[in-house]
Chains A and B, each alone.
Chain A
Amino acid sequence: MIRLHKNVALSDSGYVFDPATGESYTLNPIGLEIVQMLRQNMTDDEIQGRILDRYQVDASSLERYYMDFIGSLVQFELADNE
């Protein structure tokens, strides 16, 4: 289960600010959608299901890119993989 850190600030345009480190980030639109879903405590499967419904991508490619993206969030210490 991926948990986004609580005080990470997120704008509708995909701008992310982490008050813990003072770093800021930008997300592309799909990245933003995923982070918003994480914020609603949706599970990995729910999130990927939602993306598969909306975008032209197959499940195995999506899973690869999704895990990679989550890896970046963890690496930037914006989320924990529990």
Chain B
Amino acid sequence: MEKLPFERPFIKKVSTGLPAKFGSKKRIEVIPDIEGIPVSHLMADYGSPLFVLSESTIRKTIREARSAFSTRYPKVQFAWSYKTNYLDAVCRIFHQEGSWAEVVSAFEYEKAILNGVPGTRIIFNGPEKSPSILEKAIMNNSLIHIDHFDELYALMELSRKLERKPRVAIRINLDAGIYPQWDRFGFNFENGEAWEAINRILLSGLFDLAGLHTHIGTYITTPSAYRTATAKLASLMVEIQHKYNHTIGYIDVGGGFASKNTLRGSYLQGYDAAPSFDEYADAITSALINSQIKPEHLPLLILETGRALVDDAGSLLTTVSANKRLSNGHRAVIIDAGVNLLFTAFWYDHNVAPTTMNTDNTEETTIYGPLCMNIDVIRPAVILPPVKKGDHLVIQRVGAYNMTQWLQFISMRPSVVLIDINNKPHIIRKAETVETIRQQEQIPEHLQ
């Protein structure tokens, strides 16, 4: 007689009273493949754990975002926020799609240049820019976003020394009605600091004041905050026009759109909570169109959207290494990827999906990574079929911030594979080896 497939035996408490947060029978999504390539094949070819990015999803998402804005406003420009994911292959997809580069360090600036982005299409943000990289940015006519008065004075000196007029904008922090207010960056709007900076810039005659910039925060779920922020920048633009007869070329409203991930502990699933690109676009463009800016002066609208453009395109493929019952009776599984690779596990309840499901039975499980630390929790409570050692789990929407904030801690970082639009996989970052890490080290003679 043919033997039956085996499923781990289990017993589960039926909770009475209030239904669990997940409802009684939530349908579990099964992800057998990524862009048509079976998860098991990808892992056999490239190892486990493995980051996989979908080029089609990236292109589809940026096109969707662009169309939300360009159908509502005549001049729109996206600038790819490098810190979100600066793997060169990913940046180049965005550049092919017409995005400029938004960078916040010398390292990112150099990367953008090496990716072939013309200097004039690099937006240079951030509170720490060294004189040498500023000099380079000035010579390349990049857009330098001034963060504080010390930087303004440093730029004045460089401008005199190089006899060039740097193209600049100022970063402005403002009260957009949301908490927390990111007032650590830029010049404050409400207390007049931003207006003072603008006056010093324009009175000095040393600069080409090209734009006004703000970045109100990240994972902002209220489009109206953007309406408020944009309206404030527009009012400054009108005052500048009035006092100096100087037309500001662009307004840059930064990044911050929510992705479809669920914030940790949030009752609403991210898919339901995150506003659409249309809703953000409506808030921002209507604030510009309804402002006092004269139609012939309407500025270029720049967006530095990061996570909302790339989160969905990334998956982390993992393998179950052990199954446990905790002392309180709860189930737990240990997988081969920890929070060192999945930094966003600290903020998100990432969706975790099995690659097969041939049972109706599910149980609430905590997913731990392999690090020897208590903080290594990938998901506190997720509903899964009973998984066994060796099974694969797919962690979804990991494209933003993980492949830049990952830590080389305890183990090495795995390969990243991009699946192109013809469903062909390419390694875009090789797995680290012991040699990769050791190459950076030097052993003093007395220890050799």
Contacts and interface: CB of A to CB of B under 8 A. Distances in A.
Nearest to A73: B11
B293 to A, nearest CB: 63
Contacts of B323: 65, 68
B12 A55 contact: no
Given A55-B3, A55-B4, A68-B323, A76 B9 contact: no
Contacts of A75: 325, 329
Interface residues of A, number: 30
A29 B4 CA distance: 12
B8 interface: yes
A68 B325 contact: yes
B359 interface: yes
Interface string B317-334: 000000101000100000
Report the interface size class on chain B. 20 to 34
A16 interface: yes
B4 A27 contact: no
B11 A55 contact: no
B14 interface: yes
Interface string B1-40: 0011111111111101000000000000000000000000
Nearest to B324: A68
Nearest to A57: B6
Contacts of A23: 13-14
Output the residue of B3, B5, B11, B329 with the most chain A CB within 10 A. B11
Interface of A: 16, 23-31, 33-35, 53-57, 61-62, 65-66, 68-69, 71-73, 75-76, 78
Given A28-B9, A69-B10, 10 more contacts: A24-B13, A30-B6, A30-B8, A31-B11, A53-B3, A55-B4, A55-B6, A62-B6, A65-B9, A68-B8
